[in-house]
A and B are shown apart, each in its own frame.
Chain A
Amino acid sequence: MPKKRFDPLEALATTPLAKAVASSSIGKSVATKLGVPPSVELRRGRNNPGGAISLAELNNSTLTRRTLQLLGLFTINPVIDTPDARTLGEAGRPVPPGYEGRLGALVLDLTELRAVTDLEYVRGVLRPAIRALERSGRIIFVARTPETFDELEPRVLAQGLDGLNRTVAKELRGGATSNLVWVDPETTPQALASTLRFLLEGRSAYVDGQSWRVGAAEVADDVATSVRPYAGTIVAVTGAARGIGAAIARTFARDGATVVGVDIPASGEALARVVNEIHGTALQLDITLPDAGERIAAHVAERYGEDARLYAIIHNAGITRDRMLANLDEKGWAAVLDVNLAAQLRMNASLLDGRAGGLADGGSIVGISSTSGIAGNKGQANYATSKAAIAGLVRAMAPRLADRRITINAVGPGFIETEMTAAIPYLQREIFQRSNSLAQGGKPVDVAETIAYLADPASAAVTGQVVRVCGQALVGQ
């Protein structure tokens, strides 16, 4: 994992001058005078792009076409930039061919990418599409997972697409995003559908420049296309009283789940408000108790019957105790590791041991990693350790849970606008939240939507993945 040794923006934000300016009331007007543009309102929710979806297929690949057909999405042929297709513009410069009107998305099926010369086709379809892409438009690459190739050239080319995707994401404007989906030779349209739909819809608003893998799994047609995937399921969300946790609870409830909201007893009032709003149940519980997992299972069995099982557990609860290592004592170190990591290991063990109210086979676990864990962050040694460990946890546990068809994944939020981040002084916050390709902070719902996508029964082929929800933050991978 490449690590950024020096982040000039962060360094700037922490200078005494920046802090002084930021804490003053004129901070906002200074930022305005500096010409910081207002950020684009991102398309969110279960909404497809407004414009057409262009499908570019290399070498007769059909996986993506069949997937989009399964989802009932119509596509148009791509406009391809070739020397012959160009016209002469006003200054006598050649102008590439263009789309009629704004383009909603370009989906590139590159699963049959085999030779370096194939890449010219990729450039040819990207150029007109990027020029025509609407606000919050989408570029989606579908490619073979490099490790699934034996031959050298396709394998390295597939890896090369990772750099291309991240660059496209940085070049796009107006809230448009680019992401890369790795697929296996065995990946079916049913297995891929949830991922393509998530990426096309507004639910993936703040996921940008990312790449993750969709493997193989049996997914029925009606599961693959459901827009209320959690109907009849019970989902537990820790830290559900406020911020991202509350958004997760609401998102799962919107998609049909009965939500068990878990939070520390002291947050009970806010937890009750969230839970009552979505007709769930509240469990006031400190997740660091040794029997926290047992208590969650007992709550499920007691409230919903001995036969009831959790479909998913979302380990959202987490804390920070920021200190430079030079000032970090054993208490600040242990508290963060216990809540963010050890508690999760203990709860997983209890919920996976087959007890009443525990996690059902075919269910899902989602954890929260973080940009800090991926890139490291000054003053967050404890937090970064715990969050990198969560990324390691999902990768390690995914194969172990495969025979029970349980998926385990994590999201890695970047700068998300919550009560917590609202407390950061204006200019500092402005710098932090603009240090990504979408030039804005994410909303709690963006993290929630990504988690709901990962836990979706239709995403049975997605496991062991860490998907960042960071607008392609400048730091980290």
Chain B
Amino acid sequence: MTDRTAVVVGGNRIPFARSHGAYRQASNIDMLTAAIDGLAARFGLSGHRVGEVVGGAVLKHSRDFNLTREAVLGSSLDPHTAACDLQQACATGLEATIYVSNKIRLGQLVDGIAGGADSVSDTPMSVSDGLRRALLAANAAKTLPARLAAISSIRPGHLVPDPPGITEPRTGLSMGEHQALTTSRWGIGRTEQDEVALASHQNLARAWGEGFFDDLVTPYLGVTKDQGVRVDTTLEKLGALKPVFGRGEGATMTAGNSTGFFDGAAVTYLADADYAAEHHLPALARIVDVEVAAGDYTLGGEDLLLAPTYAIPRLLERNHLLWQDFDYYEIHEAFAATVLATLAALNDEAYCRSTLGLSGALGEIDRSRLNVNGSSLAAGHPFAATGGRIVPALAKLLHQRGTVDGRPARGIVSICAAGGQGAVAILEAC
């Protein structure tokens, strides 16, 4: 087994658009294709056989069983480029990065693209189980009477389509409702949530203004910037919004400090470090190590979106690092309260001892290093695209920073996901 180095060469995404807006006619395949084509143009990959393209979507049509391969075939990449679909809810994009970087580190790939796309506008709907069973029975029936009998079992109620589930199947609670429980459990206040949201918008707007995304984003269907970013928002405006999750006094989560529905796609280009050097490809940051985790939110009563708190200590220990040893923290803002609860949990002596089995709390971090160019609250969160938004942007930040105290600048990405899961990765500047 070889031990190669996997580096982030760069990335590309389309601007994230509000659902049922500019991208309402675009499918996941269309958006993922556009993201790949923008990447190809940036790095001269048109006609090039990339080792493998790995991606997925959370809201996925059954006909898109080969979503990523179809996107490759529609793109300017060499059609001999293999592709693979994977899915880990909102961590899909980061899990795809882990998949590709591991293959590179094993010497199985010299380069690969990881990403994802999600459209809330083009959401799949399925027929009800009753209708589906009747149609399957009719199809299997060998005689006309049997077929008619099968069809006659259809009831009007069966004709109502099933939209995709937005609730956790095992609890019946939506993600917001789950987070509301967590928010309340950790005593996360309204103002601090609004402050996280405000910082997200201000940081993202500043980054756009500075041209930070000029080599990370390619416009799509006339959209040139993320539509979620609100340049002029204030704490007052955010404070005036009515809570949408939780009940009564403890209801602090609003549309302003929760992510809305967005459409988008994003990809990360990874390569073997030697291959990158030989082929004049930039090496922005190296994938140091990764960890995924899951929490028992069903019977165990754990927090749905705090699985990264399990992954982070394991990752730190394995890499002999402290929670404070990072120059940049990218914690996905599913909700402002998710970020705050994650930080609170890792700074909580009892939680770290009893739930995480640590000798003590990991402590606090320097908040000025957190989501410095905005995150999902401002950029929007097209589920599977978020990993591909964060990883290249963090890699670019690290590369720009270069070294800190004589060592390469270091960053950590944390993404929570439905099903009580989470994925975390450490990157280091090249």
Contacts and interface: CB of A to CB of B under 8 A. Distances in A.
Given A267-B219, A276-B40, A285 B282 contact: no
Contacts of A266: 219, 224
Contacts of B46: 275-280
Given A265-B211, A272-B218, A302-B280, A280 B37 contact: no
A282 B282 contact: no
A272 B211 contact: no
Contact of B34 (A269, A280, A303): A269
B323 interface: no
B280 A304 contact: yes
Nearest to A265: B214
B263 to A, nearest CB: 15
Contacts of B38: 268-269, 272, 282
Contacts of B42: 272, 281-282
Interface in B18-49: 34, 37-38, 40-44, 46-47
Contact of A276 (B37, B220, B224): B37
A281 B220 CA distance: 18
Given A279-B46, A279-B47, A271 B214 contact: no
Interface string B213-232: 11101111100100000000
Nearest to A278: B46
B274 to A, nearest CB: 15
A271 B220 CA distance: 11
A273 interface: yes
A55 to B, nearest CB: 44
A354 interface: no
Nearest to A299: B215
A271 B211 contact: no
Interface in A258-305: 258, 261, 265-269, 271-273, 275-282, 284-286, 289, 302-305
A272 B217 contact: no
B44 A279 contact: yes
B76 interface: yes
Interface in B253-296: 280-282
Q: Chain A: interface residue count, which band?
A: 20 to 34
Interface in B70-123: 76
Nearest to B222: A269
Given A276-B41, A281-B42, A285-B214, A265 B219 contact: yes
A81 B40 CA distance: 61
B222 to A, nearest CB: 8
Given A284-B214, A285-B214, A272 B37 contact: yes
A268 B219 contact: yes
A282 B41 contact: yes
Contacts of A275: 41, 46
A286 B210 CA distance: 12
Contacts of B44: 258, 279-281, 303
Contacts of B41: 261, 271-273, 275-276, 280-282
Interface in A295-349: 302-305, 308
Contacts of A276: 37, 40-41, 46, 76
Contact of A273 (B37, B213, B214, B282): B37
B218 A303 contact: no
A279 B41 CA distance: 8
A260 to B, nearest CB: 9
A258 B44 CA distance: 10
B218 A302 contact: no
B43 A269 contact: no
A284 B215 contact: yes
Contacts of A308: 280
A267 B44 CA distance: 17
Interface centre among B37, B41, B43, B214 (most CB of A within 10 A): B41
B79 to A, nearest CB: 14
Nearest to B34: A269
Interface string B410-429: 00000000000000000000
A305 B214 CA distance: 22
Interface string A356-386: 0000000000000000000000000000000
A303 B224 contact: no
8 contacts: A269-B220, A271-B41, A272-B42, A273-B37, A276-B76, A282-B41, A284-B218, A303-B44
Given A275-B46, A285-B214, 5 more contacts: A266-B219, A268-B224, A276-B41, A279-B46, A280-B44
